[in-house]
Structure formats: structure tokens, C-alpha cells
Amino acid sequence: MTLTLEFTGNATVPVEVEGITPDAIKSFATAEIEQLEVFHGNEQAHIADFFKVSGDAASEKMVWTGDLTGVHWIGAKMNGGEIRIDGDAGRHIGSEMKSGTITVNGNVSGWLGSEMKGGLIHVHGDAGHLVGAAYRGSERGMNRGTILVDGNAGNEIGHTMRRGLIAIGGNTGDLIGFNMLAGTIVIMGEPGIRHGAGMRRGTIAFLGENHPELLPSFKFACQYRPEFMPVLTRHLASLDFDMSSLSGDESYDLHHGDFLDGGRGEIITKA
């Protein structure tokens, strides 16, 4: 039976639930879960102060419901199991997660999947800034795993990303792939500006009809049909990510850069 945590508190002051993940509490009884510590602003509290708890944690399946816009760190550092979030949620969803699945039926705020090391996050809505990014001062961001956002997302997607796959179905902000070390970022909608600045390796693919003006530190290489594109398209479609706008016959322009950092990264745009 799925464990359900229904938020019954007031989201005006943030509630932080870091570490309360399916794998961490799978052996806990309901009474033990209710006494787990959380932070309400700068004060310690307990799960029972804000959530109605029901179900069984042994299934390693967890559902968070209610107005979760002020609830942060859901699924952070999880290492297995499944989380479903019904409604909008706060910051740091799935940050530093190692494995498992997080599905969000709503919107999320910033730092989605930051520094994640594995697993799958699928947001059926919009996301904030810094999807899959490194925290300020960290050497690397997302290092494995997959992040899918069906809607729009903000700035600095994949900041200092090292490995993994990020796909955004809607529009984005600026500075995608800033300081990117490696990995793959796919953008289906309208992007902002200054993408790939400082990138060292990796791929940023703009697959929408309109693509951004690239930085002058990127150089056109060729027009081609990448062999990996059908594989990537099928993979994303298998994860219930909408790739129907692509027919499979598209040609793409390949640009190398950022030549201020060696020029080994690549940006692909529809020709």
C-alpha cells in the first residue's frame, strides 16, 4: 500500500523535508514517520505538525499531496523507490538523488534535480531556474540520471552539468549549459540567449522551429543528420516525453564551441 503524506499546514513559511524518502523510511511505522523531524523556517518540527500520514512505507512508494508550493527538498538524496507529487511543489525536488523515480503532476520551483547522481524525474508542468545545476561554488552539477520537464523552465539549465540527460518540452530562459562539462540537453520550445557559455564538452540540441543566435565563440561545422537523433527521440518518447513534433527527416546545423574553453562542445539546431 502506498504511503501518502497530505499537507495540512500553512505554506507561508517554508517546510523542509530533506531526507524523508521511500528508501530511508521503508521500515518505519506510521507513528515513527509522524515524528520525523522537519524544518519550519529555522525551527525544528515534526511531520505530524504539517502532514496527515496514511498507508504503508514498506512498498517504497510515496505520494505527497496538498499545497506543496512552500514544501522544499521532496525526494532529495533518495536512493530508490517511487515518489509522486500531486500538485505544485517547492525547491530542490530530487536534489542529489541517486536512483528511483519522481513524478510531479504540477509545477516546481528552482533547483530541480540539482547535483543528482541517478534516477528519473518527470515534471508534467513547469520548472524554475537551475534545473540539474551545480550549487554555487560546487565543481559539478547533475552527474547522471534523467530530468524531463513537459512545460517551461528558467535560466541556467544544466549549469556545470557533468553527465545525464535533461529535456525541456516548452520555452526556457537564458544561459542553458553554462560551464557545461558534458551530458545532453534537449530544448523543444523557444530558448533565451547566451547558451553554452563556457561549455567544455557535451551537447545542447535546440529542436524547435526557432533557435537562438549563438555566441560568437561558436563556429559552424556542417549540416547533417545525426545518427544518434533517432535513438534519442525513441528513448525520450519511451519515457512519455512528447517528441511528436519531429518527423525523423530533419537536418541539423552543428556548431562547435565554446572556443574560449577549447571548443569541444556542440550545439545542434534544426536547419
For the segment 198-248, what is each residue's pLDDT rounded down to a tens digit? 999 999 999 999 889 999 999 999 999 999 999 999 999 999 999 999 988
For the segment 73-100, what is each residue's pLDDT rounded down to a tens digit? 999 999 999 999 999 999 999 999 999 9
CB atoms within 10 A of CB 13: 12
Structurally, the chain folds into a number of domains equal to 1
Structural domain includes residue 63: no
| pTM over the 0.75 mark | yes
Q: Domain limits at 188?
A: 110-270
Structural domain includes residue 34: no
Predicted local distance difference test score (pLDDT) of residue 76? 98
Predicted local distance difference test score (pLDDT) of residue 210? 87
Structural domain includes residue 244: yes
- Quote the distance between the C-alpha of residue 104 and its chain's center: 11
CA distance linking residue 150 with residue 125, whole number of Å = 6
3-state per-residue secondary structure call for 200-233: CCCEEEECCCCCCCCCCCCEEEEEECCCHHHHHH
Structural domain includes residue 31: no
231 phi/psi in degrees, rounded to 5:
-65, -45
Structural domain includes residue 149: yes
Q: Which residues contact 29 (CB under 8 A, 6 or more apart)?
A: none
- From residue 244, alpha-carbon distances to 153, 188, 205, 248, 249 in Å are 20, 11, 16, 10, 13
Single out the residue of 138, 139, 266, 135 nearest to residue 200, CA to CA.
266
Structural domain includes residue 22: no
- From residue 24, alpha-carbon distances to 57, 104, 114, 134 in Å are 10, 20, 20, 24
Please report, in tens digits, the pLDDT of each residue of the chain (271 residues total).
Answer: 899 999 998 878 999 999 999 999 999 999 999 999 999 999 999 999 999 999 999 999 999 999 999 999 999 999 999 999 999 999 999 999 999 999 999 999 999 999 999 999 999 999 999 999 999 999 999 999 999 999 999 999 999 999 999 999 999 999 999 999 999 999 999 999 999 999 999 999 999 998 899 999 999 999 999 999 999 999 999 999 999 999 888 999 999 999 999 999 999 999 8
Structural domain includes residue 203: yes
Structural domain includes residue 70: no
